[in-house]
Chain A
Amino acid sequence: MQNAQNDSGGWDKAAIGALFDLKTGLLDRRVFCDEALYRLEMERIFARGWNFMCHDSQLPNAGDYLVNYIGEDQVIVVRDEAGTVNVLLNTCRHRGNALCRAEQGRAKTFVCSYHGWNYALDGKLIGVPGQKTYYHDDIDRTRLGLVPARVESYLGFHFATMAEDAPSLSEFLGDVGRTGLGMVNAFGDIEVVDGIQKNIVDCNWKIAVDNLFDWYHVMYSHASAGSAGILNLAEILFPNDQLVMLGEYGQAISGPGVTKAMQAQIDQMSDEQRVEMSKDLVRSGMRVRPRSADELMGPVGVRSVGHPNIFPNLWITLSGMQLCLRLPRGPHRTELWWYTIVPKQAPAKLKQRMVRTAIHLFGPAGLLEQDDGENWSQSTRTSQARSSQKLGHNLKMGIGKDEVIAGGNGEHYIETCVNEHGQRWFYRCWAEWIAARDWAELRANHSPVPEGTV
């Protein structure tokens, strides 16, 4: 069998290293369309990294399952009788047929529709029709269970990796990733609202990720949402109060930040006063967080009302009210999955208002989101043409203009105006992920959090 681990399709370390020039901020546009790079991403980012699978509230009972992806591999995410969430490759060990063809549901076992092999909720092969008669008992069921991924969780978010040598989820997330997930939980225990919006955009998945750090496009791309009256863009952008946090392995948070002075005022307020202050802010997602958020997000993170990305493809938006997963479907196609989050204890009326806000802003019919797909698909299309491809994807905004501030608790952050630090960090780490052959190499060679001038 081909050893995919070492098949880099002609992309050696030097060639990968030359794809992004940190000094100029120019990215080689082949990263959006080269088939061999895409295969490396599947191998060295998605199979190797920790992929978001689901939130605990999505699988309340034993037998509840949903289908998600690790790269292009479908996986069954299922709660077994012991309460454990398992992630199993959705492929029968006999002829490879998919076990689950529904997106979600309830199951007692998984039965293959081809020859009837059946598997328990933990993936064990429990039945092979004709085991005695046709196989003459010459088949070892214990070696033919559904292939499990490693699963670990933080704050009820389940992640999975195919890499046995991967570090713990906690190490992978680091402070910045944990702050990002903390943002989702900042208002107390949460639940995912029933219904994941799913649509397909003809764009490279990284263009969609790149865009979440991009607070430069909002005023222009989404001008029509502003003029339609869905929200006042000027009120939410704070172009001169941007807070950026960068973490190892590509974790990042970027976007508007509450100033230190403002935070000092908030720190003096009771939770009741904070709720009162947030009443008119639901639509923009800028609710004032309760005191308990300080611990989940840290003293700097708690000031962020920007966008975390859990590397590589889980965007957290509206201050944690929605998650968007960007699933690659080939170099030129991306499936977008939108999850909506509400605090479990919130009054029904507030939950309803949050759900409607989510529907009206994001998703394929959302008044903000409608215009993004157009930009992303055209940027991807032009990257495929010979002469256009040779021009760089330009990420030079603010290079060398900002200082990383080191906080007292090991946190590193940048306070500046609208910038492209998040995007540069994402592509820099992306290149390190696909240049490294295994976790040992990635651990040894990945960039530490930048210090000094950036």
Chain B
Amino acid sequence: MSSVERAKPSSNWADLSQAERVALQYSVEQFLYEEAALLDARKYREWLALVAEDIHYWMPIRRTVTRRDLEFEFTKLGAMAYFDDDYELLEMRVKKLEASSAWSEDPPSRSRHFVSNVRILGMEGDQITIDACFHVYRTRLNTEVDSWVGRRTDVLRCSGASFKLLKRHIFLDQTVIASKNMSTIF
């Protein structure tokens, strides 16, 4: 039995033994690494297969604000964002990346997705909420370099022996995006 299936019935992070926690942490991290590897290998269809059909994929806009205005640092759900996608939109992004006429990605960019500081924040039913840091590094054409660093809140849904990505909320550290585009999946 996998760590995912073993952990599921208790549905409560606090009730898990240390060994169960370690095993679940391992499974979660392996899922995130697998997903990152697919994106870096430009296997977008295979990545999409790891995405739940009711996913919410969102990157709000971050602003430079003073301490007293920190409540306005990120735009809220429903306001403007850089990404506010459902499965259909992500599938369109994948279709675009595959198209022979996606000029912003042909020649294709070279990307590297790093995921670290993975913490399991909680479990509810068949869902696990995690928090992680990311660094997406992209080089493009001969000399262009983009570097996007930030924090993610992901929700994974247990699915057989593995997971599906149910929610990805991406909190970038940049305010003005120092890139000509984000033709990238985070």
Contact = CB atoms under 8 A, between A and B. Distances in A.
Contacts of B76: 194
Contacts of A377: 180
Interface stretch (B10-18, B47-55, B131-139, B170-178): B170-178
A367 B89 CA distance: 10
Nearest to A201: B180
Interface in A75-117: 101-106
B82 A223 contact: no
Interface string B88-108: 010011011001011110000
A335 B180 CA distance: 9
A365 B181 contact: yes
Contacts of B82: 197, 359, 363-365
Nearest to A381: B141
Interface stretch (A118-126, A145-153, A225-233, A271-279): A225-233
A104 B72 CA distance: 9
A382 interface: no
A364 B148 CA distance: 13
B31 interface: no
A144 B52 CA distance: 60
B89 A364 contact: no
Contacts of B75: 194-195
A283 to B, nearest CB: 12
Given A364-B181, A367-B96, A373-B181, A195 B176 contact: no
A403 interface: no
Nearest to A337: B176
Interface in B48-88: 59-61, 63-66, 68-69, 72, 75-76, 78-85
B161 interface: no
Nearest to B96: A228
A195 B65 contact: no
Contacts of A373: 104, 180-181
B176 A335 contact: yes
Nearest to B63: A103
B182 interface: yes
A367 B180 CA distance: 13
B183 interface: yes
Contacts of B183: 365, 370
Contacts of A225: 96
A360 B65 CA distance: 26
A345 B178 CA distance: 35
Contacts of B59: 365
Interface residues of chain A: helix, strand, loop or mixed (majority) = mixed
A375 B181 CA distance: 12
B102 to A, nearest CB: 4
A14 B114 CA distance: 56
Contacts of A402: none
A198 B95 CA distance: 26
Contact of B101 (A103, A105, A224, A335): A224
A274 B182 CA distance: 36
Residue of A220, A340, A360 most packed against chain B (CB within 10 A)? A360
A194 B69 CA distance: 14
A221 interface: yes
Nearest to B106: A224
Interface stretch (A157-165, A306-314, A350-358, A391-399): A350-358
A186 to B, nearest CB: 21
Contacts of B85: 360
A286 interface: no
Contacts of A210: none
A194 to B, nearest CB: 4
A413 to B, nearest CB: 33
A47 B179 CA distance: 27
A351 B84 CA distance: 14
Contacts of A374: 103-104, 180-181
A370 B99 contact: no
A405 interface: no
A200 B177 contact: yes
A221 B103 contact: yes
Contact of B104 (A195, A220, A358, A371): A371
A225 B99 CA distance: 9
A224 B72 contact: no
Given A221-B103, A374-B180, A197 B80 contact: yes
B60 to A, nearest CB: 7
A370 B99 CA distance: 14
A102 B96 contact: no
B177 to A, nearest CB: 4
Nearest to A195: B80
Contacts of B81: 195, 359
A236 interface: no
A26 to B, nearest CB: 25
Nearest to B58: A359
Contacts of A228: 92-93, 95-96, 99
Nearest to B102: A224
Given A224-B96, A365-B83, 20 more contacts: A102-B63, A102-B64, A102-B69, A103-B63, A103-B65, A104-B63, A195-B61, A195-B79, A195-B80, A197-B80, A198-B177, A199-B179, A221-B103, A227-B95, A227-B96, A340-B80, A364-B180, A371-B103, A374-B103, A374-B181
9 contacts: A104-B65, A195-B75, A195-B79, A197-B61, A198-B61, A202-B180, A224-B96, A224-B102, A227-B101
Interface of B: 59-61, 63-66, 68-69, 72, 75-76, 78-85, 89, 92-93, 95-96, 99, 101-104, 175-183
